[in-house]
A and B are shown apart, each in its own frame.
Chain A
Amino acid sequence: MTMLLEVSGVSVTFDGFRAINNLSFNIGKAEMRAIIGPNGAGKTTFMDIVTGKTRPDEGKVLWGDKSISLIRMSEAQIARAGVGRKFQRPTVFEDQNVFDNLLLALKKNRSPFSVLTYKKSGEDVTKVEALATEIGLRDQLGRKSGELSHGQKQWLEIGMLLAQDPQLLLVDEPAAGMTHEEREHTTSLLVEAAKTRAVVVVEHDMEFVRRLNCKVTVLHEGSVLAEGSLDHVTANQQVIDVYLGR
């Protein structure tokens, strides 16, 4: 299977602190992956590098069939290339309603002039409604997203991610602050998404990771400590020492 994303030998230093140290990471085209690790292991920095927010000091980040380097591309270009990102804190446009949030994310030409002359087509409305149904916000379309509950905002953000139709979803702690039922819904959304695209989930909650039932990568001090099934990595003595034991 060809890889969708190949990160190899990446290092990045902030003021002398090595946040990422010779990290290598691959993910295939329709794969779910969970990344776990203690605080400061470099999980968020890893996402920053892939999405273009942070430039690595060295190493390669290659994308897709043509192995395009993502390193010189801007955040917006990378997003258009097919990388979607969900932040830890739910970031939706609170001043706008659910429909507009989803429409904004819907995969379309992003240039100012084409957006200026954009006319809402019936097809787009149908797509937005289908997405809203999938994330359970069908009845909330006209509501301002700032009024939604925490869990609903998280789903809206996942919905926006899906609307972008990315090949790779980077999801940072999707289950944080959610109730039990909300977690189950979130799990099924992500599992469904991983059938057609790559999904990388950063999560602290082991129970949630277990439910995702996927390959796990453990990060520690900016590099990969262990990789494999959850049972495999949790049996690893090093992982127990640096992460689980604490």
Chain B
Amino acid sequence: MRRESFFARNPSVVVFLLCLAAFTLVVSVMSEGAGAGLISTSFIKTLGKTLCLCLVAVAMDLVWGYTGILSLGHFAFFGLGGYMVGMWLMYQRTHDIVAASMANATIPPTEQEIVDAIGTQIFGVVGSSEFPPVWAFADSLVIQLALVVLIPGLLALVFGWLAFRSRVTGVYLSILTQAMTLALSLYLFQNDSGLRGNNGLSGLQNLPGVEASQAVVSIWFLWASALALGLGYLLAAWVVSGKFGSVIRGIRDDEARVRFLGYSVEGYKLFIFVLTAVIAGIAGALYYPQAGIINPAEVAPIASIYLAVWVAIGGRGRLYGAVIGAAFVSLVSTWFTGGQVPSVNLGFYRIDWVEWWQVILGLSFVLVTLFAPKGIGGLFDLLAGRIVPNRHGADYGPDKGSFQEAEGRE
């Protein structure tokens, strides 16, 4: 059998990466930061955030579309990643401000005085001034960045180990993951959780020690998000392309059979669960500095359900489907909930899209599930003339239509 390179076997990966690069380049050139000013800084941030959502959708597709674990808790990992990077951002920025204001005093402040002042600044809002133990490493960017990966990974490892070892599957597992993210959200809502309760962490858009304007910073984050998405996509495509992909799709379709072939199904599930949690954590760490604020509502159960809806609408079991779903649905959602869509006056009733968007989303989820289980990604099969039966195993194909995806995002 002929040996082909990874990219030759997976042409859709090349197409995707090219589209992503082209998209990033075009948006950068048109941005305020680059001078053209055709796209506002706030919309650049929206696009950057969307790329992060696409990344977490890729993770969701790995865990659900390929391995068949319908996790409804991956936004917990996403949020934790955001909190970890947010702690450093908030600490360091407050530190800079406090140090600057105290520098004018006649007696130079001691380090302890500065730390106390930071504590008062950050925790005054929850009636405290002490640094909780979880902030122990908040002054170190390196450690907090490591925690972006370690904390979601560790939570996924412990949760996954307990759940998979007990052979919890299907809807029961979904409920458990919902409970996990709900518990995390409720815990974070408490003032004494140490992460500022319902206030969350704010001012995250300001990078400490960076003089550049938000217009420029937003471009940096757009690039960082695009890079993370590209690498995450590449990693996911590599994981699912070889024999490992064969095993996890086997687990999705017939878990018991895989077990009787001698594969430790629990080990594979745990591997995927932890890997995707880590990817979600990284996506969150890039998302929240662009959003500027993170609070416990971000890890509420509904967020993870939305994630599943994106992947379902985009088409699960194919990575570009997840990306398209996340980009399309979240951008349309931004548009509808932004209040810019004119309301429709029916005379007897006024359709206000901010509220009715939820109904449309729910309805389209039901319709996609019933009538187009392959989602938007299934359209590429039509374009490539690969309608049922498709004989090529994995749903990778020379998807000529992929340019639509960049269009969809622009």
Contacts and interface: CB of A to CB of B under 8 A. Distances in A.
Interface of A: 51, 53, 74-77, 79-80, 84-85, 87, 91, 93-97, 100, 103-105, 110-112, 115-116, 118, 120, 122, 125, 142-144, 147, 160, 164
7 contacts: A85-B260, A93-B250, A96-B250, A105-B261, A110-B264, A125-B1, A144-B393
Interface string B3-42: 0000000000000000000000000000000000000000
Interface stretch (B178-186, B218-226, B239-247, B364-372): B239-247
Assign chain B's interface to a size class.
20 to 34
Contact of A75 (B259, B267, B391): B259
B246 A103 contact: yes
A58 B265 CA distance: 27
A75 B260 CA distance: 6
B192 interface: no
B49 interface: no
A94 B1 contact: no
Interface string B232-266: 00000001001110110110011011011111110
Contact of B243 (A53, A87, A104): A104
Nearest to B238: A116
Contacts of B262: 76-77, 79-80, 110, 164
A105 B274 CA distance: 25
The interface residues of chain B, by DSSP majority, are classed as: helix
Given A91-B257, A116-B239, A143-B391, A100 B246 contact: yes
A142 B246 CA distance: 14
Given A95-B253, A120-B1, A51 B243 contact: no
Contact of A104 (B247, B264, B265): B247
Contact of B253 (A93, A97, A105): A93
Contact of B393 (A75, A96, A125): A96
B67 to A, nearest CB: 12
A112 B268 contact: yes
A126 to B, nearest CB: 10
Given A76-B262, A79-B259, A110-B264, A104 B391 contact: no
Contact of B260 (A51, A95, A111): A51
B318 to A, nearest CB: 12
B271 interface: yes
